């Protein structure tokens, strides 16, 4: 349910008027689901039987109904009472289904004046609606009915995680909007720095893998591609692995690197005595297959990265 006028007049730290009716209801979904367990949030824009959110409790159940207005309501007490009476059949149906509490969540602001006379004389809209809701609760057979006004919603939003504020960023204004912009700029800067760090780390690893790691033979300064010899041999014939048959390469001899890079088998066991080149084979395979396509373009920007 909503009320609309010609010009919106947002108030408070959060401008719910900028969200629209559907997004404000989704915000209430997040607030209730983040605060309580056993909560069901119903899709917006559908016939929900007077229940935007429900919560199961040991005592029964709670029905939450969301009421949004684009503009300030001249008489919020009458507006909200009309919303309640318009849902009377639905409320009674929820009571029969086991609900014992009813909560209105509204974007409308209440007034806090205390009564100065009998029958709530001089009281603000908050106290006056509380009195009216007590009568409706008795009429509908509920243990309690209450209203969460705009200030109540503000308090819940302030306690929400930052992800919720980012999800509903259109409602942010003033200092809240400034904090959001600063956080977004900081996050973008962190992502950029992290991407640069990853590129530098990968490039450093690339240059390490270029060299042969044979310190004992004093070959640790030689390029791997200059010394590596991919000895060719004849592969095994077709064989079965877990009842799945893999057809190996043809009758021509093939090098170990080419075999490992193109084999259809999910796993390949490389065996050999110490010093026979298993690690060097893995180093060459990773260098020539895994990194070459990425670092070809990366090396072109080496003057920028280093």
pTM score, whole prediction: 0.57
On whether the CB atoms of residues 230 and 259 are closer than 8 A, the answer is no
On whether the CB atoms of residues 54 and 61 are closer than 8 A, the answer is yes
CB atoms within 10 A of CB 98: 11
- For tokens 């899709």, the residue is 43
Mean pLDDT score of the chain: 78
Q: Note the pLDDT tens digit of each residue in 251-296.
A: 678 777 777 777 777 777 777 777 777 777 777 777 666 554 444 4
Structure tokens at 41: 């949030």
Burial 263-294 (b: 16+ CB within 10 A, else e): eeeeeeeeeeeeeebeebbebbbebbeebeee
Residue 102 pLDDT exceeds 90:
yes
pLDDT of residue 172: 82
Instruction: Calculate the alpha carbon distances from 179 to 23, 60, 151, 172, 228 in Å.
Output: 21, 41, 21, 9, 56
**Domains of the chain by range and CATH?**
16-176 (3.40.91), 190-305 (no CATH)
Q: Note the pLDDT tens digit of each residue in 208-243.
A: 665 555 544 445 555 666 667 777 776 665 555 555
pLDDT of residue 227: 67
Q: Note the pLDDT tens digit of each residue in 127-167.
A: 999 999 999 999 999 999 999 999 999 999 989 888 888 88
Which percentage of the chain shows pLDDT scores above 70? Answer: 67
Residue 49 pLDDT exceeds 80:
yes
Beta bridge partners of 239: 246
CA dihedral sign of residues 182, 188, 191, 196? negative
Round to whole Å and give the CA distance between 63 and 91: 8
């Amino acid at each position: 349910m909503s009320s609309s006028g010609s010009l919106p007049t947002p108030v408070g730290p959060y401008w719910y008027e900028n969200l629209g009716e559907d997004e404000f209801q989704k915000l209430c979904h997040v607030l209730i689901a983040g605060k309580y367990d056993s909560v069901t949030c119903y899709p917006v824009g559908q016939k929900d039987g007077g229940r935007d959110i429900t919560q199961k409790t040991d005592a029964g159940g709670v029905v939450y109904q969301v009421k949004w207005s684009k503009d300030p309501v001249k008489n919020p007490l009458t507006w909200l009472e009309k919303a309640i009476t318009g849902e009377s059949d639905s409320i009674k149906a929820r009571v029969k289904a086991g609900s014992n509490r009813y909560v209105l969540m509204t974007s409308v602001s209440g007034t806090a004046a205390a009564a100065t006379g009998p029958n709530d004389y001089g009281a603000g809209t908050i106290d006056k609606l509380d009195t009216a809701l007590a009568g409706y609760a008795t009429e509908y057979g509920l243990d309690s009915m209450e209203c969460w006004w705009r200030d109540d919603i503000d308090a819940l939003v302030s306690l929400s995680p930052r992800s919720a504020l980012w999800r509903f960023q259109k409602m942010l204004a003033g200092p809240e909007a400034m904090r959001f912009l600063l956080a977004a700029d900081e996050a973008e800067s962190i992502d950029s720095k992290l991407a640069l760090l990853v590129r530098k780390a990968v490039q450093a690893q690339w240059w390490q893998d270029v060299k042969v790691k044979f310190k004992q033979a004093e070959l640790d300064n030689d390029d791997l591609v200059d010394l590596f010899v991919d000895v060719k041999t004849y592969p095994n014939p077709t064989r079965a692995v877990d009842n799945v048959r893999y057809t190996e390469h043809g009758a021509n001899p093939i090098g170990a690197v080419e075999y490992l890079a193109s084999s259809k088998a999910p796993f390949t066991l490389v065996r050999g005595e110490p010093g026979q080149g298993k690690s060097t084979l893995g180093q060459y395979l990773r260098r020539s297959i895994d990194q070459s396509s990425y670092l070809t373009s990366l090396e072109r920007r080496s003057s920028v990265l280093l």
